[in-house]
Amino acid sequence: MHDIRAIRENPAAFDAAMARRGLEQASDEILALDEARRACIHAAETAQAEQNSASKDVGAAKARGDEAEFDRLRALVSDKKSEVARMQAEAKDLDQRLTDLLMGLPNLPLDEIPDGQDEADNVEIHRWGTPASFDFPPKEHFEIPGVIPGMDFEAGAKLSGARFVVMQGAVARIHRALAQFMLDTHIDENGLLETWTPVLVREDMMYGTGNLPKFGEDSYQTTNGWWLVPTAEVTLTNLVHGDTVDEATLPRRYAAHTQCFRSEAGSAGKDTAGMLRQHQFEKVEMVSITHPDHSRAELDRMTGCAQGILECLGLPYRTVVLCTGDMGFGARRTHDIEVWLPGQNTYREISSVSLCGEFQARRMNARFRPAGGGKPQFVHTLNGSGLAVGRCLIAVLENGQQADGSVALPAVLHPYLGGRSLLQADGTLV
């Protein structure tokens, strides 16, 4: 959420930043609501003071035996009491409208972010690995003979509908091995704190990370009001919801492996084949809570953590900075990491690492207490995939496929597979 004081002090700068995200003159309605709200608060305070003054005079008039003045003052007190209640109710309504408006506006991009409309305007900043050359036409993951026995989309559809899958046998084991490898790497080498969190959260947790109110249709809500998390960003970031922590405890770096749930409401007809876009999937999520002075460096550190997973797996990738038109709602800067998928002959997103600044912290009221004293300040939050497990499985299968329908598996996974290194064309591991 945005700082109303900053908007009041420099509406032109706010509007210029919002214009880069496609919103013109965003401050006009904000400042109009804010002015009306402040006027109501002032009117309520004035009426309250007049009510208090008249209340004191009522007793004096009674003591003097001035019944006419007593009746006039008593009526005035009653009128002012009603006026105060009315003004306070109106101010509360205007405050809620202002909050809702601010809650629905995206974060401000950093000055360095490239302007653009969509993914075509993103800027590549790093590339690693060379896509392998195949002496046969490479298949998509769900077409590889060794994968077919362990990836059942018909069973998924029977159980739950479109965009669900049942994994079995070797494919399910490779999927599990990938998640375990990611967690172990982040915990043992990258210094993240392994964390297990619920996948059902209260509504205010979704507001805290910016998933509500704007993107409610992209998530699932239970009949009793809980929400299924779209990623563990929601739970990990909200660990500091409403807290004021000591500066010495920063940065706080978390990693969690969870089931994730997305309705994919805005992607009808997109990526319907295979496992690329599912309603239920798994991710290893990274979240950092930092001091504002260190958040930009933390973004690069987190990006390196995600890239390192792909390098260990030997998967070619590229990293891009998202332009203003492609950047997510809560981000000030985002690095997308795209892995090479030979079956599609293109790079596809496998991780998105974002710096949110104090945007989420304001929504959560999450602050830190400076070590040298002074007023508590908002923390900065960052989040990123480290990685999307299903998409990583796709990349491993497609990049490791061989002409006979088998799949050679990355060496770092062999210990997690009992020493096995090959998914055979019949779907078994050896």
Kindly state the DSSP code that residue 294 receives in the 8-state scheme.
G
How, if at all, do strands 244-246 and 367-369 pair?
parallel
**Is 233 a known ligand-binding residue?**
yes
**Is 350 a known ligand-binding residue?**
yes
Which of 72, 348, 349, 421 is flagged as catalytic? 349
Which of 97, 277, 318, 369 is flagged as catalytic? 277
State the amino acid at position 229 in one-letter form.
V
Q: 251: helix, coil or strand? A: coil
**Is 381 a known ligand-binding residue?**
no
**Is 133 a known ligand-binding residue?**
no
Which of 295, 352, 354, 406 is flagged as catalytic? 352
Active site residue 262: yes
**Is 263 a known ligand-binding residue?**
yes
User: In this structure, are residues 303 and 255 in contact, taking their beta carbons and an 8 Å threshold?
Assistant: no
* Angle formed at CA 30 by CA 26 and CA 35, multiple of 5 degrees: 145
User: In this structure, are residues 237 and 331 in contact, taking their beta carbons and an 8 Å threshold?
Assistant: no
Which of 20, 21, 253, 262 is flagged as catalytic? 262
Active site residue 64: no
**Is 351 a known ligand-binding residue?**
yes
**Is 140 a known ligand-binding residue?**
no
**Residue 218 corresponds to which tokens in the numbers above?**
């992209």
**Is 38 a known ligand-binding residue?**
no
Active site residue 53: no
How, if at all, do strands 380-388 and 151-152 pair?
unpaired
**Is 160 a known ligand-binding residue?**
no
Active site residue 349: yes
CA distance 347 to 332: 24
**Is 46 a known ligand-binding residue?**
no
Which of 295, 391, 398, 420 is flagged as catalytic? 391
Kindly state the DSSP code that residue 404 receives in the 8-state scheme.
T
Q: What are phi and psi of 252, to 5 degrees?
A: -110, 120
C-alpha to C-alpha distances, 405 to 321, 339, 410, 427, nearest whole angstrom: 36, 22, 16, 9
Active site residue 86: no
**Is 68 a known ligand-binding residue?**
no
**Is 232 a known ligand-binding residue?**
yes
Annotated binding residues for L-serine = 231-233, 262, 285, 383, 385
Residue ranges of the annotated binding site are: 231-233, 262-264, 285, 349-352, 383, 385
Q: Please give the positions annotated as active site.
A: 262, 277, 349, 352, 391
Residues annotated within a binding site for ATP = 262-264, 349-352
